[in-house]
Structures are given as C-alpha cells and as structure tokens.
C-alpha cells in the first residue's frame, strides 16, 4: 500500500543523502515547465535543501502559453530562477543542418528538450549545481521522454514513482492544485500526453503496479511501447573485447 507521507519523507532524505555524497553544498538546478513533475521535483528539493539551494530555469521556446504556471511555481516556492528563451538556439541549429537533409518530425520535436538540457547544464556548471531529472515511472515505462533531453540529469527523485503517486506527494507538499492537477501536455506537438499515448495515466499506473488492465488493446500498446523504449532506461551498450 502506497503511503504518500512516508515515501515523501524518504525521498526528501534521499535527496539530502545524494547531495551529501555527490555535491556537498551544491545547488539543485531544475528546468521549470509549469507542469506537475517539475513543480513537485522542485518542491521536494526545497524541502530537502532549503529554497536558497534550489534554482529554477524557465526555458520557453518563443512564446509559451502556460509560462504563467512556471512563474507561479517559482513564486510559490520563493526560489531563485532564470528565464532562458531557447527559440534562437533551436532555429539556428535547425537552419545550420545540411539543406539536403530532410528533417523528420521527431528531429524537430526532440531538439528543443535536448537544447533545454544543454541549457540546464550550462546554468548548473556556472552556479555549483546538480541537475534534477523530473521524469516519473509512468512516462519512463512507455518511453515518454527524450533521450539526452528531459531523460537526462544528475539525480532523479521521482523515476520510481507513478503519476498517481507523484500527484499525491505534490498535494502533501502544499503545492497549488492548479499545478498538481494541470493537464500534462508534451510541449512538443501541442497534444496532451494521454492523447499521444492512447491511454490514461490512471490506467497505466494500475497496470504498472498490479498488472491489471481491462482493455486488451491498450495493454498491447503499453507493452509494445515498454519493450521498444527499454533502451532509454539502460546504460549505453559498449563493446568489451576479450583479452
């Protein structure tokens, strides 16, 4: 049985232990999108380290329609934050690629999160930081992340917690409901996560934890996505010569 308060407290202590071993006195640097994951990860870091050691980075690509949610989060937590608009960097790189190279939809959709992660590390290495990964188990399970983009980071407080569990912890942390319950949008093609995936997080979370799901077609989609995207969760394969 999931006990949100117990898990929240254990996660906070885990963050403290990580920094004690891997960056004593360092700051947590977090990309703030205005969604539940970055909001709850930031709140966990504030509880673990104090607001003076948490730095948020807002990274719109041009005009972000929900940037007010990201601003609400940093104001609510009282953390230092920077705003870095990545539009010029994305446009410049896309425009610098060979003209004969036909850019796929995936190329265009996955470049921004990779630029954002480069931005986070630029900020982190300039302010004695460690980059917080904000992925959760539900998204990781079906590969709903960009490799070397939002899937990267130095520490990951929520990657073994489902969306349902993460939201329970968010409520315990006293975050505004509008942040915890905000409909997740991928930020890439404008659709909601559940529209892209073909099933709800509620269905996925139950399946992850119990193996039960009524809709067999959705089970097949989940299983296929899980197998296809396992490589994102594993270390890069490396050749080992036999001597």
CATH of the domain at 55: 3.40.50.620
Predicted pLDDT of residue 211 = 97
Give me the domain span that covers residue 172.
4-183
Predicted pLDDT of residue 189 = 56
Residue 87 lies in a domain: yes
Residue 173 lies in a domain: yes
* Number of structural domains found in the chain: 1
Q: Measured between alpha carbons, how far is residue 135 from residues 33, 67, 160 in Å?
A: 12, 20, 9
Residue 118 lies in a domain: yes
Residue 218 lies in a domain: no
Residue 229 lies in a domain: no
Count helices and strands (H / E) in the chain. Answer: 11, 4
Distance between CA atoms of residues 224 and 31, nearest Å:
30
Predicted pLDDT of residue 1 = 85
Cβ 2 vs Cβ 103: under 8 Å: no
Cβ 168 vs Cβ 4: under 8 Å: yes
Residue 227 lies in a domain: no
- Residue 29's beta-bridge partner residues? 55, 131
Predicted pLDDT of residue 187 = 56
Predicted pLDDT of residue 46 = 98
Instruction: Report the chain (243 residues): mean pLDDT per 10 consecutive residues.
Output: 96 98 95 96 98 98 94 98 98 96 94 98 98 97 95 97 98 96 68 84 96 96 96 91 93
Predicted pLDDT of residue 11 = 98
Q: Which helix (H) or strand (E) holds 82?
A: strand 80-83
Residue 188 lies in a domain: no
Residue 46 lies in a domain: yes
The pTM assigned to this predicted structure is 0.93
């Amino acid at each position: 049985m999931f006990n949100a308060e117990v898990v929240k407290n254990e996660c906070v202590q885990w963050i403290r232990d990580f920094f004690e071993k891997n960056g004593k006195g360092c700051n947590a640097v977090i990309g703030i999108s205005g969604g539940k994951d970055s909001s709850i990860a930031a709140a966990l870091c504030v509880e673990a380290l104090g607001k003076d050691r948490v730095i948020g980075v807002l990274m719109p690509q041009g005009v972000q329609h929900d940037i007010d949610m990201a601003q609400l989060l940093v104001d609510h937590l009282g953390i230092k934050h920077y705003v870095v608009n990545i539009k010029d960097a994305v446009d410049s790189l896309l425009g610098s690629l060979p003209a004969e190279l036909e850019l796929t939809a995936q190329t265009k959709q996955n470049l921004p999160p990779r630029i954002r992660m480069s931005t986070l590390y630029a900020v982190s290495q300039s302010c004695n930081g460690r980059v917080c990964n904000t992925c959760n188990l539900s998204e990781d399970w079906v590969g709903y992340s960009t490799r070397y983009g939002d899937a990267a980071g130095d520490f990951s407080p929520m990657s073994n917690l489902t969306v349902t569990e993460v939201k329970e912890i968010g409520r315990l942390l006293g975050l505004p409901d509008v942040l915890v319950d905000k409909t997740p949008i991928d930020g890439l093609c404008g659709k909601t996560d559940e529209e892209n995936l073909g099933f709800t997080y509620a269905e996925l979370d139950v399946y992850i934890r119990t193996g039960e799901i009524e809709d067999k077609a959705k089970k097949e989609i989940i299983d296929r996505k899980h197998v296809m995207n396992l490589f994102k969760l594993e270390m890069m394969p490396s050749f080992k010569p036999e001597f």
